[in-house]
Amino acid sequence: MITSAKLLSRYASLMGAFWLLGALWLNSQLLAESPEWPRFLNDDFSGSVDLDPEQATPSTLSWNQPPKIAWALDLGDGYGLGVIRNDAYFHFDSVHGKERLRKVSLDQGEVLWTQTNEVTYRDMYGYEPGPRCSPTSDGDDIFTLGVSGTLTARSIQDGQQRWQVQTNDAYQVVQNFFGVGSSPLVLDDLVIVMVGGSPAADQAIAPGRLDRVSPNGSLAVAFDRNSGEERWRCGDDLASYSSPRTITLGNEVYVLMLARDHLHVIDPRKGKSIGQMRFRADILESVNAMTPVVRDNRVLIGDCYDSGAVLLEIDVQDDKAIFRDVWRDPAGNRRAQALRSHMSTPVLQDGYIYGCSGRNAPDSDFRCVEFLTGDVQWTALSRRRTNATRFGDVLLVLKETGPLHIVRCTPQSFDELAVWKLDEAIGDHAGLGYPCWAAPIVSGRKMLVRGDQNLFCLEIPED
């Protein structure tokens, strides 16, 4: 005879099973969605994919299974990763003296179209002559900025060119150490680009002597997205390798540009810089490269050469940007600095920064830093540079040599869930080659990771 207590127990077990199945199904459905990754660092500049932690928890997925490749793509020269738009992946590289933009089916990896333009570039330090930055997509348009300053607008549908501007020629840009490497920013009907031109006479200055080069008021140039005509220019500074991004101050949208010598706040409505704060190490060869990290009116910037990091509060009063330090690393004391960002932009989650600190392999590590205080919580992966993307409650930390570390996103410890050895052969595919300098991007259950000459579209594991 079955007692009422037993019936209740069985009922509870069945309900628990149904709840678990429902949760797994919902988790699977949320991860199966195909959100877009339309520009460098994603649509909110965070380098992250946000998921509802009560419904989708990537840390519970089966990361210890061997990685599975949905498709692979051979790459030309260049260092950036592409963008995802309308269920397609767009990759920008160069081959045989031509810059190339390809549209690739995200589902199958089939190349749907290819468009090219001529490029002439010679790197002063022997690096690849391909693009350094990602395309930017918006609406029916996709914009690319090549290593020699060629800004091109194309149709996402068929790749046909709509307009093109040779910015290095138009604004007399003196070649930076590694060419042009800042992604375009689309803001309403403007395409805003970090150009950093100079007086024509400065073209005679010896290569690499940027300390002798003068700005000509064209740090930021806004082009009409439909015609390519200049709408405004502003800012006395040279270009860096950081990409422009937006910030909202007092209910108005402004543009942040971490240029060669200063952090600029630009009013895009008036086309003028409303304030700047000097930020660059006093070393000729130093460059600013990270994109500012923003939370409300607080802005984190940093370098790996001498300055370390600084967290600022920025306000606008009487049409002027006011900068105030929240905390600042001691200049010149690298051992005491909280974060020394170089090529990679750290990610921010729940009040903590996660990112690579250091200039080169011997002095680099991956660390967690409290955003508001600069206190280091932990360090890991020493002696290697990394790039990281946050995917829900995990960090996808890619070493420049190819291994991908899947790490729980928590300030308590470096909680490693698995390591995918993408530098080693996977089935018929050769491993990723050095250098792996682009952070992974994620769309639904697909993760895109690139090495020097190849790209993997990986399947995110099931529950």
All domains in the chain, ordered by first residue: 33-459 (2.140.10.10)
| Confidence at residue 404, expressed as pLDDT on a 0 to 100 scale | 98
303: CB partners within 8 A, 6+ apart: 279, 280, 281, 286, 287, 288, 289, 290, 340, 341, 342
- Residues in a beta bridge with 254: 247
- Residues in a beta bridge with 266: 255, 273
The token pair at 333 is: 């004391």
355 φ, ψ (degrees, to nearest 5): 180, 175
CB-count burial class (<10 Å; 0-12, 13-18, 19+) for 393: middle
Is residue 151 within 8 Å of residue 164, measured between CB atoms? Answer: yes
| Confidence at residue 34, expressed as pLDDT on a 0 to 100 scale | 63
C-alpha distances (whole Å) from 422 to each of 163, 336, 383, 454 are 39, 33, 19, 11
Among candidates 207, 99, 213, which has minimal Cα distance to 147? 99
- Residues in a beta bridge with 150: 166
Is residue 95 within 8 Å of residue 76, measured between CB atoms? Answer: yes
The residue to which tokens 């970090």 are assigned? 194
How does the average pLDDT of the chain come out, rounded? 93
Element (H, E) at 144: strand 141-145
- Residues in a beta bridge with 101: 92, 115
The residue to which tokens 């300053």 are assigned? 149
| Confidence at residue 463, expressed as pLDDT on a 0 to 100 scale | 79
Cα 85 to its chain centre, rounded Å, is: 16
Q: For each successive 10 residues of the chain (463 residues), what is the average pLDDT?
A: 51 47 48 83 96 86 96 97 97 97 97 96 93 97 98 98 98 96 97 97 93 97 98 98 97 97 98 97 94 98 96 97 98 95 96 96 95 98 96 97 98 98 96 97 96 97 86
Under DSSP, the state recorded for 432 is P
